[in-house]
Structure 1
Amino acid sequence: MRMRTLGRLITASTVAVALTVTSCAADDDAASDATPAEPADRGAAARALANVESTSDVTVDRYLYPTTTGDRDDRQNWADVYLPPGDHEPGTVPLVVLVHGGGWQSKLGADVFVSLSRRLAERGLAVYNLEYRRVGSGGGWPTTFKDVAAALDFVPNVQAALPEISTDDAVVAGHSAGGQLAMWSGTRHNLEDDEIGAEPEFRPTYVISLAGTLDMRRAALNGNPRARSVMGGMPSEVPDHYASVSPIENIDPDVPIIAMTGTADTVVAPSMATNYVRAVKKAGGRGALVRFPGVNHTQIVASDSATFPQIIETISRAAHNAHRD
């Protein structure tokens, strides 16, 4: 894989695959001044998608984003951009950003969202499916959070290269650990200057959590070793970490949210979503709670589950409606 300095990539490789699009857009005043990004060789992602039966000409390109940690792992610091078929006028395709879960651990990666990305793209959305370093592959505190912030702040560069994408309003959606990261992405503009992810160049208009860990302090205190690991310790040891990135401690009533959960989830307690939505409403914000009876932690986003169509519909409606408003 070849690349230029400052994270600008060459060797574009566009792959036609079957995708279903969902719409979403992102607010970024710096988009017009951003340096256009160039796609990288898709490598393993292209090979994985090559086995998918194509029903529509969705295009997929991989972009490597520059990190803020002084290094970059090209195997992990990337985002795949899915575009719906056909030609589109500038600023007409809403953007959805997807953040995968997996307990902030390296076992799972962004490939778990290939099907969701395709389906959303087929519904007319641009999808930015991002990868980041996790615990076990160079991540943890603070790298994981710095990577996600850097990936999000690279969106204006991608929009400059793909002007059909609208970044006026955007939806960010994440599952499990990605739900925590997604909710955090919607409130970074309220961070102090010295906090990780402060002064964002990209801000979503709408955030959706899919079985997300929305209370990091509670997760750690209730015995979740993955939460303790990515945070760098217990709340009593690193209280500032929790105060900075735990969604329930950083609610912004101006950012509408949806929290979706399964009642049979034994990994992230359904009450975490309930408590979060209640806190959002108490703060004067707009929050919706969606509960799936009998659904567990992984079924909620499984492409062969009964919930998958509703996940697609929810994200798609949020993105298209945000773009129209």
Structure 2
Amino acid sequence: MSAMLGALVVVAGCASAPPVQPDIRPSVDPPRAAHTEVVPIRPVHTRSADTATGVTVEHLRYPVPGGHPDPHQNWMDLYLPDLTPPPGPSTRPVRFPLVILLHGGGWQSRIGASTFSGFSRILAERGLAVLNVEYRRVGKGGGWPTTFTDVGAAMDHVPAVAARYRQVDASHAVVVGHSAGAQLAVWAATRAHLAPGEVGSGPRFRPSRVFSLAGPLDLRRAVALGDHAVIRVLGGTPGQVPSRYASVDPIENIDPTIPIVVVTGTRDQVVRPELAERYVAADQAVGGHARLVLLAGQTHSSIVDPRSSTFGVLVDEIVQAAGTPAG
């Protein structure tokens, strides 16, 4: 990773709001991650001189457990770069590294995958195959367990997509999630350790790397800080449905073998940077290599806004993590 974004950066001593749910189980504070620093990011253009100019979009549906998908929500758009072979003697077909995007919106129906259409196109213009995933959310048939089974089913459909579109290289796929989508992305990447019968257990596909963008990666602490969206998607507080939190809370299901880049803005008032710091410290405590990156001056939504001064750096890092097209 570049020195600009790849370094571990953490803010220590974040203030905590008083708990708003009296039945929250007290949690043990994880050790602090090292290297306290906030890194200001310089603007970087999102396109390079060798950027692909043509992008095609394929609208795909994925099957869900039980065989009753919602055609308006159980879908994914596949963005493919220009298929023109690069100059040179090679006659091998070009294969594009895969990035999977999971949008945010508090697991609720008011925000959908269309908000990541521009993000998807920008990444495809940089030479990546991109799957922009839609899933059922609270208010439109989602919630517990449907939102999670949908995301798990979408991830498990990736090998079928790669088999149909041979130009897609899913061997080292990167999953990128924002806000609630970041929680889903980290959960989807670490669900191999779930017990049989748990929601999402027995995955048929696992990404190689995760980017969490402003993700609530400590759900119990998020509820204690007043995040009622967590309660709505899981159908109760940690005291009411403890097994659900134990099954899908990223900080309770750490897999130190999965590299995770945890990105958040220093001005995020929706998902406090404290949650990112706690997750990274917990991951490091068990031998993981999670990185916490605080983007100076950025808010919850601005870190995924193409107009922000740090968005270009984020795109560069995702492109670098995914790799370059093979040919």
Match of 1:259 in 2: 262
Q: Do structure 1's residue 86 and structure 2's residue 83 form an aligned pair?
A: yes
**Alignment partner of 1:117 is 2:103:** no
Q: CA deviation at 1:191?
A: 0.6
Ranked by relative contact order (alpha carbons within 8 Å, sequence separation 6 or more), the top structure is 2
Residue segments in structure 1 that go unaligned for 5+ positions in a row: 1-54
1:69, CA displacement in angstroms?
3.9
Aligned length in residues:
269
Q: What CA distance in whole angstroms lies between the structure 2 residues aligned with 1:148 and 1:87?
A: 32
CA shift, 1:271, in A, is 1.1
| Cross-structure match for 2:3 | none
TM superposition outliers: structure 1 runs of 4+ over 4 Å:
87-91
Q: 1:161 to 1:189 in 2, by over 3 A?
A: same
Partners of 1:180 and 1:122 in 2: CA distance: 26
SS state of the match for residue 195, structure 1?
Answer: coil
Kept in 1, the 8 Å contact 2:218–2:278? The answer is no
**Aligned mates of 1:291, 1:79 — CA distance in 2:** 30
TM-score (structure 2 length as normaliser): 0.80
Percent identity over the alignment is 52
Given the alignment, which residue of 299, 305, 311 partners 1:302? 305
After superposition, residues 1-325 of structure 1 pair within 5 angstroms as 56-87=53-84, 89=92, 92-320=95-323
Question: Which amino acid counterpart does residue 304 of structure 2 have in structure 1?
Answer: V
Residue 172 of structure 1, CA deviation? 0.3
Distance 1:125 1:60 in 2: 13
CA contact (8 A) 1:65 1:77 kept: yes
Letter in 1 for 2:78: V
Aligned-pair CA distance for 1:149: 0.5
**2:80 is aligned with what amino acid?**
L
* Residue 90 (structure 1) shift: 5.2
Name the SS for the 2:323 alignment partner.
helix
Q: Distance in 2 between matches of 1:315 and 1:182?
A: 14
Partners in 1 of 2:250 and 2:170 — Cα distance?
23
SS in 2 for 1:129: strand
User: Secondary structure in 2 aligned to 1:97?
Assistant: strand
Structure 1 residue 87: Cα displacement: 4.2
TM-score relative to the length of structure 1: 0.80
> Secondary structure of the equivalent of 1:156?
helix
Output the CA distance in 2 between the equivalents of 1:246 and 1:141. 13
Distance 2:182 2:93 in 1: 30
Larger Rg: 2
Name the counterpart of 2:48.
none
* 1:222 positional shift: 2.2
Q: Name the CA distance, whole Å, in 2 between partners of 1:316 and 1:258.
A: 13
Retained in 2: the 8 A contact 1:90–1:165?
Answer: no
Unmatched tracts of structure 2, length 5 or more: 1-51, 86-91
The alignment yields a C-alpha RMSD, in angstroms, of 1.5
